[in-house]
Amino acid sequence: MSGGGFWLDWVLGFEAVLRTGAALPAKPPPAPPPPAPGAPKALIFAPHPDDETITGALPLRLAREAGFAVTDVAVTLGSREERRAGRREELDAACRALGFRLLLPAPEGLSRINPETRRRDACHWAGAVTAIAAVLEAEKPTTIFLPHAEDWNSTHVGVHHLVADALGLLPGFACVVVETEYWRPMAAPNLLVESSASDVARLVGALALHAGEVARNPYHLRLPAWMMDNVRRGAELVGGQGVAAPAATFATLYRLHAWTGGGWRQVLPRGRVIGAADSLAGLFPAMS
């Protein structure tokens, strides 16, 4: 028997799954039904086209299970000007597949959203902050999603500070804030949300529609593996050191708190694990 024995066959099965996925067409899944008029609003502040999908597991569940109207605020369309039109088309298709509305804070998205701009170009940064504050005032979401402050990629970090600075212009504004991760794990997530296989399939299908991006790096094929690893990490990061892992295959980690009274407030006394069959009630004001 070759090295690894039956475990080798098992591992080779993972390789076969990747090869099979690479051959699948980028065909959009059927769009989910639209939200009802007057539905509570959730905004995803996405640093780049595709982030709305990568971190979209909880927004997808909010839309389906609680009737939320989810809007992707595409903060930028990427740094390469020659790709922006194409990325906008891909983003339109992905948002339709997820049932998310698309909103741009500027016709071609904002530019130079990163910590360096925040430090060195106060005028440009102030204009971007004002644009995001205007979105928050106009949309009046009950829930917003944004990257955490240490998410490595400079635009992800920039978007965190951009939205935080915009909230600072709105002292009377209140909402649930959900921080997301992708490039660098959060040090202290407090929410692990399971996704069903059908939800993961929708996310992968939507991510595949970002064709220009996955052509250079087929990260849509690795999204299920990333979500599986989130279960491994999240079991103890959220549930506590030494606890047993939940009986989940796919999940996403988040950090949930609130913006109210002009500042941040913790709303979860301890970490929460939300299974695919569990209710989201109690996490969000519109559901309480």
Of residues 237, 288, 267, 217, the one with CA closest to residue 66: 288
Say which DSSP state 233 is in. H
pLDDT of residue 29: 85
Instruction: List the one residue out of 32, 89, 22 whose CA is nearest residue 65.
Output: 32
The CA distance from 105 to 118, in Å, is 18
Q: Is 288 among the domain residues?
A: no
SS3 207: helix
Instruction: Note whether residue 7 is domain-resident.
Output: no
Q: Parallel, antiparallel, or unpaired for β 143-147 and 175-180?
A: parallel
Q: pLDDT tens string for the chain (288 positions)?
A: 456 788 999 999 999 999 999 999 998 888 899 999 999 999 999 999 999 999 999 999 999 999 999 999 999 999 899 999 999 999 999 999 999 999 999 999 999 999 999 999 999 999 999 999 999 999 999 999 999 999 999 999 999 999 999 999 998 999 999 999 999 999 999 999 999 999 999 999 999 999 999 999 999 999 999 999 999 999 999 999 999 999 999 999 999 999 999 999 999 999 999 999 999 988 876 555
On whether residue 244 sits in a domain, the answer given is: yes
Number of domains composing the chain: 1
The whole-model pTM stands at 0.96
pLDDT of residue 282: 80
CATH number of the domain that 54 lies in? 3.40.50.10320
Cβ atoms of 242 and 222 closer than 8 Å: no
Cα gap 278→287, rounded to integer Å: 14
**Beta strand ranges found along 34-75 (DSSP E):** 41-46, 69-74
Helix (H, G, I), strand (E, B) or coil at 234: helix
Q: Please, is 64 exposed, middle or buried when counting C-beta atoms within 10 Å of its C-beta (0-12, 13-18, 19+)? A: middle
What is the domain range of residue 238?
36-280
Q: Is residue 87 in a domain?
A: yes
Residue 226 inside a domain? The answer is yes
- Determine, yes or no, domain membership for 139: yes
**What is each CA distance from 26 to 105, 120, 189, 198, 278, in whole angstroms?**
28, 41, 32, 17, 31
**Residue 57 domain flag:** yes
User: Would residue 119 count as lying in a domain?
Assistant: yes
114: nearest Cα among 126, 103, 125: 125
pLDDT of amino acid 1: 47
